[in-house]
Structure 1
Amino acid sequence: MSLLNREIFWPPADELTEVAERIRSRLGEWPAASKEWRICLTAPDAHGANDLIVFTEQHGADVDRLIADGAAVLEAHGERAVLRRGDERFVLEGERSDDWLAALAAFLDCDFEPHDALTLALAWRPGDENKPDAWPVDFDTFPRVGDLPAAPATPFPECPQRLGLYPVLPSAEWVERVLDLGVVTAQLRRKSTDADDLKREIERSVSAGRRHQAQLFINDHWREAIAAGAYGVHLGQEDVQTADLDAIAKAGVRLGLSTHGYYEMLRALHFRPSYLALGAVFPTTTKVMPTAPQGIARLARYVRLLDGRVPLVAIGGVNGDVLRDVLATGVGSAAVVRAVTEAQDVKAAVSALQHEFAR
């Protein structure tokens, strides 16, 4: 897709546009961008929701007003870049190549959200477009997420690099049923506000995990998981700010973290979790997702960057129809929900899913 006939930069910057076009042409086929961003090198008089306004020097602009008007604002000084969009704030630290703004335009055109496009743009290095695979794949060039609390002094325990089939289940009865079928990794996602119910369900699930020597994770309820002696807990990005990660680590409980793109992966890695969940790969109705589905192509890129660095779990809309394609990316685990809990024959469904991992 050509960038040359579009207003990519304001004021018009032909040289930047040509470099962006050259980079974009080397990134391969991606879905058309759902939003055509305009990168503004100075604050325009008329600005709106499609504008990403970049300041690389000190300025007197009213950033709060620009954001209130719907624009995104990126302030990049030295090795620190701060992106603000609505109520969200994204901080990245690291070197920038001379072509980083052109790379930002190219990755935005690949339909990445601004914070993920910025992450990739900061990882871009001169000459990358001349490589057989132009996509940033060297982890050492990627920026760091800034302004994060310290990671726990006690590292989270490790779990197997390849966790295999990973059913996410609504009750202890389901946990027992699935573990009895030979599944060795599972998660209890109990949607309840009843403290007594949570305690019973978690204790019963943990007990089943011990009987089967399985890797049983508890979703969200980390206090109850610690009390029950759970193998692990699974938390969302928003939980990192509220959960006592030190207490989880000191209890010897493993930690899995949800991620939804490059920025969140780097943010999660700061805390040295036991595994990362990458999603949602496909549309899912089991929960409201903060981002659009990632798709197989993005999943493959994530796996290539992180495989061997931390165990990875693909999650979101995964079922028997797509599992083979998911595993072809090299990911070592896939979480499933309805593929098990809504199966007409649960034993047959689990067997078929397990067979895909054994291929």
Structure 2
Amino acid sequence: MRIRTHLGQWPSPAIRWRLCSTLPQSIEANDLIILHRDTLTEDADQHEPSQFAAAAGVLTVTAETITLRLGGTVHPLAGERSDDWLAAFAAFLECGFMPPDALVLAHAWREPHRLEGNAWPIDYANFPRVLGLDAMRPSVPFAACPWQLGLYPVVASAAWVERLLELGVKTLQLRAKTLEHATLQAEIKRAVQAARHHHAQLFINDHWQLAIEAGAYGVHLGQEDLQTAQLQTIANAGLRLGLSTHGYYEMLVACHLRPSYIALGAVFATTTKSMPTAPQGLTRLAHYVQLLKKQVPLVAIGGIDQAVLADVLATGVGSAAVVRAITEASDLPKAVATLQHAFVRNLDLVE
């Protein structure tokens, strides 16, 4: 409770996790079982995490690492942590963070006086590293993109790309999910040619091979794509890379891979795609920006429209991706002009 009181007001968590320092008689779905490798009893040592990880989460703790197994996924972290990391872990769970993100924050937790009065972990140097990523990391960083990408519409066709380019939009993403290969190839080529003509920055969602073939400015990938995409090939081709993230753990993964930008979301509820996590909200977004604003360009995404854009930009994020604010606008030129003006006004306020 001492740590929790430092962290401010947060909604009640959707899931009540139970931390178990010893193996419980009955393992429940929301149990997080903590195994200390250096202090396991002979009886407990017979219980490998794989035997009950399907029924609960398991944290295997050593002096150097903590590995969280949850829902069939392994989250291995290494880094310095304070003596009260476990209390901090419980506090961040109580703030509504899912276990992988709560564990990252617990590693980064330091007493408030060591953070100049700010209890929230925002010093990147205190955060842990995710193990096992070195083989995925390209030998050179991805090509850089502007720190302030500005208004960033995400649209489903080359025709939409062309319409927005004519209205002065300079950063766009083509996200075409259901087209056959030949049609998709033609759409990407058409969109890339239009963006090049307008000296704009066009990212292609998912289809990195076709993006390379067409000479696109960049590609945007989700975390689920990292196991199959050839990141070294993308980097060698000179394309920029944007990566989606949905919390602190995924941010650490993304930062290790040195992308051109990181997308933070979903900030608000969205109907344009199925999201793996609940909406992040403005408070979390502001903390994410505080942590990463000096590390990599940032894009807020998810449910952002004219009504909330000013609040989103007030967090310090340099770009905001929009979908329905563009595609469902009754007056497209007016919608684009209004959204663009919000970015100009925000820059004036910052300066």
In which range does the TM-score fall when normalised by the shorter chain? over 0.9
Q: Which structure 1 segments of 5+ residues have no match?
A: 1-20
Counterparts of 2:23 and 2:115 in 1: how far apart (Å)? 33
CA distance in 1, matches of 2:113, 2:312: 27
What's the CA shift string for 1:108-152, capped at 9, x where partnerless?
000000000000001112455884210011100100011122411
Work out whether 1:56 is the aligned partner of 2:36. yes
Alignment partner, residue 132 of structure 2: 147
Percent of aligned positions that are identical: 60
Could you tell me how far apart the structure 1 residues matched to 2:56 and 2:181 are? Answer: 43
Aligned residues: 338
Q: State the Cα distance separating 1:62 from its structure 2 match.
A: 3.9
Note if 1:176 corresponds to 2:162: yes
2:65 is the counterpart of 1:83:
no
Q: Give 1:78 shift.
A: 1.9
Out of 226, 231, 235, the position equivalent to 2:221 is 235
Partner of 1:119: 104
SS of residue matched to 2:219: strand
Aligned to 1:222: 208
The aligned counterpart of 1:294 is 280
Whole-Å separation in 2 of the counterparts to 1:127 and 1:298: 19
Distance 2:164 2:75 in 1: 40
CA distance in structure 2 between the aligned counterparts of 1:193 and 1:209, rounded to whole angstroms: 20
Q: For residues 128 and 145 of structure 1, do their structure 2 counterparts lie closer, same or farther at Cα, with a shift above 3 Å needed?
A: farther
Residue number in structure 1 paired with 2:152? 166
Offset of residue 88 of structure 1:
1.2
* Aligned residue in 2 for 1:309: 295
Note the alpha carbon deviations across 1:214-253, whole angstroms, 9 max, x for none: 1110000000000000000000001111001111000000
Paired with 2:169 and 2:278, the residues of 1 have a C-alpha distance of 30
Conserved 8 A contact 1:221-1:233:
yes
**Compared with structure 1, are the counterparts of its residues 126 and 61 closer, same or farther at alpha carbon in structure 2 (3 Å cutoff)?**
farther
Question: Structure 1 residue aligned with 2:246, among 246, 254, 260?
Answer: 260
From 32, 56, 60, the counterpart of 2:12:
32
| TM-score computed with the length of structure 1 as normaliser | 0.92
Deviation by residue 1:143-189 (Cα, 9 ceiling, x = unmatched): 00111224111321000001000000110000000011011100000
Q: How far, CA to CA, are the matches of 1:269 and 1:130 in structure 2?
A: 22
Question: What is the aligned-residue RMSD (CA, Å)?
Answer: 1.2
Which amino acid in structure 2 is aligned with residue 357 of structure 1?
Answer: F
Aligned partner of 2:235 in structure 1 is 249
SS of alignment partner, residue 67 of structure 2: strand
Quote the Cα distance in structure 2 between the aligned partners of 1:209 and 1:100. Answer: 49
2:348 aligned partner: none
Q: Partner residue of 1:93?
A: 78
Secondary structure of 2:75's counterpart equals: strand
Distance 1:185 1:293 in 2: 24
1:337 aligns with one of 303, 318, 323: 323
- Inter-partner Cα distance in structure 2 for 1:150 and 1:72: 26
- What is the CA–CA distance in structure 2 between the aligned matches of 1:349 and 1:130, rounded to whole Å? 42
Where 1:241 maps in the other structure, the secondary structure is: coil
State the 1:56 CA deviation: 1.6
